[in-house]
Amino acid sequence: MNKYQSQIKSICFLAWPAVVQEAMNVVVSYVDTAMVGALGANASAAVGLTSTVGWLVSSIAIAFGIGILSVCAQAIGAKDEKKVQRTGQQALFLTLIVGIVLTVICVIIAPYLPAWLNGDKAIRATASLYFMIISLPLLFRSAVLILSSALRGVSDMKTPMLINLYMNLINIVLNFVLIYPTRQVFGITIPGAGLEVKGAAIATAISFVVGGIMMFVRYYNNQIFAFSKSGFHFYKTEFKECLTIGIPVVLERGVICLGHVTFASLIAKLGVVRFAAHTIAIQAEQAFYIPGYGFQTAAATLVGNAIGQKSEHKVKEVTYLISGITMFLMIICGITLFVFANQLMSIFTPDLQVIELGARVLRIVSISEPIYGILVILEGTFNGMGDTKAPFIFSLITMWGVRVCGSWLIINVFNQGIEAVWIMMVLDNITRCFLLARRFFKGGWKYRLNS
């Protein structure tokens, strides 16, 4: 086996659990969207209205997790076992701080959020209740996201995958029971609570609680972090290093997600049908991100190891290999999305107008899938090496300068529809990919090799 074959094998070994996890998350997202979509366009719009804020909340926890992952991966590359142990223990402190703060903020804003997002008055009460319920267990949700990053930082990819599998199964089963009323299926009585959108929220909240408890148990029992021997301790140096890497990622994710919130509120002005089509199309497209986000974790971990080893050659080699693999897979995804756009939309809603409109925007975005795949891998590369400030600036420029401002002009000045708005979304991704690639090729990250 030559060197490249060996490296590809290592990459795939790290990536496959993350790919499987992404796939499972998408399946559950599809099931959720389809179940809620069966209740009508108003139900889909109510759930979708606050979804961008939900992404923002999750992204904050994920971003702090990236700080843990990056420092752990670099310490492993440098063979510094004590630093790995100390860094891993800081994940618990971050989980408690982030989880409690997010819970308080989200519970307070839940009654007002739908109105802030320009949601139709007919869906505001339902949207507010949905967001309130899924916000209550955010401490457990933060545990899932941050502690899983700590485990991935020490190359344990399977544990997060398995726990997400259990969470998803719980969510699906509870959806069937809580969303619909008691009914007959093939002559068999299926019990149900008939809670509709509220039932979907409760199912999600319960899965968060179970997942958070399971993740903490596996994290505590991980031998590398040595909790059974040393207990939990706060280490200022490692905590500060995680924050130094994580805070720019928090700001970047915040910029992106707040941009999504503003973007969604602009589309909400176009009416319930267009907003439902937008929301469902966003959900449908997630399946085609699986290769990118699956291999992103491998890129972050392996590049972090390479930075710890002070190997510029290995950083480049790993990035090129993973980008090539991902681009190939995303080309296949883009072609599939273009060809089967109508069939994909019909999974989630019976509304023919929503299906046709959603299929048109999916075909627009399908063309940019390979470029988006490279963008995702480059994000993983910069996260792994701890070079997170420049990506934050790039995100600020493209999200607000291209997507949000461009969409505002498209809707309010040129009176164009949702298709033109999605073109601005594609231009945002292309521009951000170009800026990240330019920084990588010019070597603006090399200072990390000497830090």
In this predicted structure, what is the pLDDT of residue 178? 92
Residue whose C-alpha is closest to residue 388's, from 260, 242, 257: 242
| pLDDT value at residue 1 | 52
What ranges do the domains of the chain cover? 3-450
Cα 280 to the chain's mean position, in Å?
Answer: 16
* Residue 329 identity (one-letter amino acid): L
- Which residue is listed with tokens 């299929």? 359
Confidence category of residue 2, pLDDT binned at 50, 70, 90: low
**C-alpha to C-alpha distance for 229 and 260, rounded to whole angstroms:** 45
For residue 294, give both structure tokens: 């699956």
The two three-digit tokens of residue 242, written as one number: 């995680």
Taking the C-alpha atoms of residue 326 and residue 218, their distance in angstroms, rounded to an integer, is 30
Beta bridge partners of 193: 181
Nearest partner of 426 among 292, 334, 353, judged by Cα:
334
Residue 386 three-state SS = coil
| 33-92 tens-digit pLDDT | 777 777 777 887 788 788 878 888 888 898 899 999 999 999 999 999 899 999 999 999
How far is residue 247 from each of residues 33, 243, 299, 385, 450, measured CA to CA in Å?
Answer: 32, 5, 20, 14, 21
Rounded CA gap, 371 and 330, in Å?
Answer: 8
Looking at the DSSP assignment, which residues form a beta bridge with residue 189? Answer: 184
Of 48, 119, 405, 424, the closest CA to residue 265 belongs to 119
Confidence of residue 271 (pLDDT cuts 50, 70, 90): confident
Report the percentage of the chain scoring pLDDT > 90.
54
Per the DSSP assignment, residues forming a β-bridge with 190 are 183
What DSSP string describes 169-183?
Answer: HHHHHHHHHHTSEEE
- pTM for this model (two decimals): 0.82
User: Sorting pLDDT into bands at 50, 70 and 90, what band is 132?
Assistant: very high
Parallel, antiparallel, or unpaired: how do β-strands 188-193 and 181-185 relate? Answer: antiparallel
Taking all residues of the chain, what is their mean pLDDT, rounded to a whole number? 89
Residues 190-239 pLDDT 10s: 787 888 889 989 999 999 999 999 999 999 998 888 787 777 788 899 99
pLDDT at res. 27: 75
Rounded CA Rg of the chain = 22
The pLDDT, as a whole number, for residue 147 is: 95
Cβ–Cβ < 8 Å for 397, 435: yes
pLDDT at 286: 81
Query: Per this entry, what is the length of the chain?
Result: 451
Q: Alpha-carbon distance 432 to 375, whole Å?
A: 7
CB-count burial class (<10 Å; 0-12, 13-18, 19+) for 113: buried
Write out the two tokens for 137: 């267990």
- pLDDT for the residue 451: 67
| Average pLDDT rounded to a whole number, residues 347-372 | 92
Is the dihedral angle over the CA atoms 26, 30, 33, 35 positive or is it negative? negative
What does the alpha-carbon distance between residue 406 and residue 315 come to, in Å, rounded to a whole number? 35
Distances (CA, A) of 154 to 25, 124, 247, 277: 22, 43, 21, 41
Q: What are phi and psi of 196, to 5 degrees?
A: 55, -125
Q: Which residues lie below 8 Å from residue 6, measured CB to CB, with a gap of 6+?
A: none
The neighbour count for residue 212, using CB atoms within 10 Å, is 24
Question: What is the distance between the alpha carbons of residues 316 and 98, in angstroms, rounded to a whole number?
Answer: 33
